[in-house]
Each structure stands twice: as structure tokens, then as C-alpha cells.
Amino acid sequence: MTLALLGILLSLVLLITLAYRGHSVIAVAPLAASVAVIMSGAPLLASYTQVFMPALGGFMAAFFPLFLVGAIFGRLMTVSGYARDLAGWISGLLGPKFAILVTVLATALLTYGGVSAWVVVFTIFPIATSLFEEADIPKRLMPAAIALGIFTFATAALPGSPQIHNTIPTKFFGTNTFAAPGLGLLGAIIVFGLGMLWLDRRQKQLLAAGESFADLTLAEIKEARRLGIDPVPGGSGGGGGGGGVRPVAPSDPDSVDDGRQPATGGATVDVAERTTGAPAAATPDRPSAVAGLIGLSPVLVIVLVNALCTYILFPAMDVGYLAEEKFGATSLEGVAGIWAVTVAMLAGIALVFLLRTGSFSEYVDGLTEGAKNAVLPVFNTASEVGYGAVIASLAVFATVRDGMFGVSDNPVVVAAVSTSGISGLTGSASGGLTITLNTFGEQLATMATDQGIPMDLMHRVTAMASTGFDSLPHNGAIITLLLVCGLSHRESYKDIFVVTVIVPVVGLLAVMGIGLTVGTF
């Protein structure tokens, strides 16, 4: 028993370490699972072919449509320029004085519209850079501002969000994406408000300490030295202000080591220009109100069609055929959430085509690129689900399960603790949520029914619980965000941790407390 438990711990350490170092979860997940299998004495090949792969395939069969339409929509919003127009319009509306607020709002709006996190990051980065430069806000706060908009309230708290994190619970609790709308909205307000308070406080602290946008990041210092230019002391991005440089003889480019490769998002590409005093790149033109509203329209269509399907169209349909074996012997409650989001995303895609019919051929290419972009994310998440299924199949996991259910006899508490813990261990909100509900979902639903706890509350709590501890340093999306922004964990993760881990947990606790005492609304 002790050896088997040690095997699970070692497999988790291996999974976290390799994922943090950027290795593909598709390869890492079965490798890590094999460690636990071997140390528990279970059959290795059978665990892979009969447990891991069916779980992986089951997840893809259930949720690939969402990944597919989401990736296509995100690609079309990028190709059409609508995502950029929307974000740029909001920034022009509020101005650089509110650079952090604009970044969070624009990011959250795109996220709530169903655009994938990867697309949002690359869309928002140049706009946020322009805003932060105009407002002279230290760059180290940019990743946290973007992360607050993507990974927290817009993903799992706002009712109707088409993101996968808000859709997965519908399959297990028979709910829809608008579950507990009042509680979800309240939780979103708490998370958004506390996150903004922290970022505003940090902005004032850093400016008072003499930091500015002009301070070089660690990656820029490293690149400058590679080019034979040495930063003047005080320009390291650590708060010395100024950020000047002076040419010197070439030195070791690795003399400043932040533990990762140089950024790919553009933060260091102009380092030669910045360190030699050349003019900075021109500020992007701000879109007009008309362009901004056109960019907003596909997002609004997705939200409206989602609500229309959920509350009017699907309930009016005769879906008795779903009880047949060939259709999975299910019910409308088991598929309505996925159907509604899929139809809504398709409506958004159709609107993008209709808004600019002259770009039809270009958009067709976007369909192909979007479909390709869907494959890797769904396989990554499905591999984590397969890993969880293998761990759950081991005899020793009964001890782990009993430990989680021993935390409380309240299913809301158990759901929150187990989802948060597994999401944190895997570094994936959707992966952790699926693993938890695949393993405990039926038991949690039964407990909730027996205790008279609404399924809407279970849905909202599990969705929000997945977006807390998942944002630990090994989270792949966090690593990508830092790379795009050209910053390191040392420079920016403190603020990311506060707004994507601590603040969402506070929001989750508030929703749980109100939901259990007052009920859902």
C-alpha cells in the first residue's frame, strides 16, 4: 500500500516536472501513469490499452466538437481582424489611463465569446503593450492582467460562458451553461473586483519604487548582452528606473539566466532598437466604434444563441429518440449543454462569414487552420484525462478517494476540494475537472440529490473550483503567456498567482457559502 501511494506521488511529480519543462503531455501522461502502475503491481499494457486509451477516447468523443468549433471561431476572429478591432475599440474607448482595466475587460470579453486562450493571448499582447507603454506601467504586470481576463471569472463563473470548463459539468449534473446565474455573476464580480484591486495596488507600488515600462526585462538584458550591449545598472526591470544601456565588448549571453528560453512573443525582438535608442514601433491605429461593434457582434450572437437554444429551442424539441441505444441511451439533459454551445459557436462562425463575404476564400482557409489548431489542445487534455483514469483504476486509489470524501459529508465541499486539488496537480483546469467528475461525478450527484442540494450549485462550484490551483507554475497556458510577454516566472508569477489562484479561491468560497446558506439564484 505504501509503495503504491509512493508510486502515485512520484508519477505526479514526473507529470508536473516534465510538463513544466515544456514536454508534450501527450507523451508525458502515459509515461507518468506507467510509474504508478508499475509501483502498484497492476498490469502495464492492459492499463494503457484498456483504461488510458478508452478514457482518452471518451473525452474526445464527448468534447471534441467544442474544441473544434472554438478553435475555428478563434482563428476566424483573428483572420478577420475582428478580435483586434474589438480589443482596440475598448482600449480607445477608455484610454491608456485605464490600461490594466482595458486589458482585463477586452481579454474577458473575447474569452466569454468563446475565443480560445491561445488566440486571446496573441491578440491582446500587442494592444496591451501599446497601452502599458502609453500609461508607463511596468511590463511585469501585463501577464497578470491578461491572465485575470482569461483564466478566471470569464471562463467558469460568468453564466453562459461557452468555454469548456463551464460546459463539462453539464454532462455530469444535467445542467446547462447558465447554471446558478446569480451566484455565477456574483462570483465573477468578486473575482474581477479583487483582481483589479490587487493590480491597481501593485501598479502604484511599482511606480512608487521607480519602475516604469522602459525598464528592460531579464530576457531583454540577456539579448542585449548577446548583441554586445550592456545595460546600465538600474535598467533590469527590477525597479531601478531608467533602463539605459551602453555598448560593451560581447559577453556571455547566458550571464543573465531566468531559467527559460527567450520569449517568442516579440518582447525581445526590438531589443537592438531599444538598446541603441532607435524609435519604438508605431502605436497600432485604434479602430472606430463601428469596427469595434462589428467585432463585438459575433460574441453577442454566441451568447444569445446559447441562451436561445438552452431555454427555448431545445426544450421545445421532441428528442425521445435519444433514449435509443444507437444515440447513447441518454436524455436531453445529458447533451443540451454541449449542443447549445456547439450551435452557438457555429452561429458565430456563420456571422463572421456573412459580415465580409468578399473574404470567403480566406475564411475557408481559416476553417482548415482552425481545425488543425483544435487537435493539439484536445489531445493534451484527453491525455490528462487518460492519466487520471489510470490512477483511479489502481486499488490504492480507494484510499485517496476515501480521504477526499472524508474531508466533509457535504458534496459541495468535496467537489470543491477534489476538483481544486486534481486541477492543481495536473496543471489543467479542464483536465482536472474531467478527471474529478469521471471519478466522483456520479457519487457527488447522488449525495447532492439525497441532501437536497441543487445541481446548479454543484455545477457552478466545480466549474469555479477548476480555475484556481490549476494556475500553479507548471500550467502550460501560464508558461505560454509568460513566453509571449517576454517575462519570466521570477518577474511576473507573483501577481499571476494572486489573481489566478488566491482571488478565484476567495470567489469560490464566497459562492459556496452563499449557495449553501441562501440557495441558488
Backbone angles phi, psi at 376, to 5 degrees: -65, -45
The 10s digit of each residue's pLDDT in 330-344 is 889 889 889 999 999
Report whether 357 contacts 74 (CB < 8 A). no
Name the residue with higher pLDDT: 268 or 486. 486
C-alpha grid cell, residue 429: 483546469
Report whether 177 contacts 160 (CB < 8 A). yes
- What pLDDT shows up at residue 205? 95
Report whether 427 contacts 19 (CB < 8 A). yes
Placement of cell 441511451 in the chain: 329
Neighbours of 270 (CB within 10 A): 14
Residue 290 has pLDDT above 60, yes or no: yes
Neighbours of 200 (CB within 10 A): 13
The DSSP annotation for 291-310 comes to: HHHHHHHHHHHHHHHHHHII
- What pLDDT shows up at residue 2? 83
The 10s digit of each residue's pLDDT in 411-449 is 999 999 999 988 887 788 888 899 899 889 999 999 999
C-alpha grid cell, residue 247: 555598448
Placement of cell 437554444 in the chain: 309
Residue 271 has pLDDT above 70, yes or no: no
Give residue 1's pLDDT band: very low, low, confident or very high (50, 70, 90): low
What's at 226, amino acid-wise? Answer: R
User: How far is residue 303 from each of residues 166, 298, 500, measured CA to CA in Å?
Assistant: 13, 9, 24
Q: Average pLDDT of 93-122?
A: 88
Q: Average pLDDT of 509-517?
A: 96
d(CA 274, CA 237): 14
d(CA 512, CA 516): 6
Q: Average pLDDT of 103-121?
A: 88
The DSSP annotation for 157-199 comes to: ISTT--SHHHHHHHHHHS--TTSSHHHHHHHHHHHHHHHHHHH
Distant-in-sequence, close-in-space partners of 455: CB < 8 Å, separation ≥ 6: 173, 174, 175, 179, 445, 448
User: Residue 308 burial (CB < 10 Å; 0-12/13-18/19+)?
Assistant: middle
- What pLDDT shows up at residue 281? 39
Residue 157 has pLDDT above 80, yes or no: yes
Strand, coil or helix: what is 196? helix
d(CA 88, CA 98): 13
For 152, half-sphere exposure in the C-beta direction (CA atoms, 13 angstrom radius) is 35
Taking each continuous run of H as one helix and of E as one strand, the counts in the chain are 22, 2
Give residue 230's pLDDT band: very low, low, confident or very high (50, 70, 90): low
Placement of cell 489502481 in the chain: 394
- What pLDDT shows up at residue 272? 43
Residue 178 has pLDDT above 80, yes or no: yes
- Three-point CA angle 260, 264, 265, nearest 5°: 125
C-alpha grid cell, residue 335: 447533451
Distant-in-sequence, close-in-space partners of 509: CB < 8 Å, separation ≥ 6: none
User: How far is residue 483 from each of residues 168, 224, 268, 516, measured CA to CA in Å?
Assistant: 29, 17, 10, 41
d(CA 84, CA 103): 12
Mean pLDDT estimate for the chain: 85
Q: Average pLDDT of 494-519?
A: 96
- What pLDDT shows up at residue 284? 52
Q: What is the dihedral of CA 255, 259, 263, 267, to 10 degrees?
A: -60
Q: How far is CA 181 from the centre of its chain?
A: 21
Q: Average pLDDT of 451-478?
A: 92
Give residue 159's pLDDT band: very low, low, confident or very high (50, 70, 90): very high
Q: Average pLDDT of 259-272?
A: 41
Report whether 91 contacts 395 (CB < 8 A). no
b/e sequence 121-158, b meaning 16+ C-beta within 10 Å: bbbbbbbbbbbbbebebbbbbbbbbbbbbbbbbbbbbb
Residue 264 has pLDDT above 50, yes or no: no
Neighbours of 289 (CB within 10 A): 10
d(CA 470, CA 96): 31
Q: Average pLDDT of 90-106?
A: 88
Name the residue with higher pLDDT: 242 or 176. 176
Q: Average pLDDT of 133-151?
A: 94
Residue 229 has pLDDT above 80, yes or no: no
Name the residue with higher pLDDT: 400 or 101. 101
Q: How far is CA 14 from the centre of its chain?
A: 22
What's at 291, amino acid-wise? Answer: A
Percent of the chain with pLDDT over 90: 51
- What pLDDT shows up at residue 231? 66
Beta bridge partners of 246: 230
Q: What is the dihedral of CA 117, 123, 127, 128, to 10 degrees?
A: 20
d(CA 420, CA 432): 8
Strand, coil or helix: what is 497? helix
C-alpha grid cell, residue 338: 454541449
Percent of the chain with pLDDT over 70: 89
Q: Which of 33, 60, 487 is nearest to 268 (CA)?
A: 487
The 10s digit of each residue's pLDDT in 33-75 is 999 999 999 999 999 999 999 999 998 998 899 889 988 998 8
- Reported as type and span, the H/E element at residue 361 is helix 360-393
Q: Between the ranges 11-20, 189-198, 262-271, where is the mean pLDDT highest?
A: 189-198
Distant-in-sequence, close-in-space partners of 109: CB < 8 Å, separation ≥ 6: 86, 90, 154, 296, 299
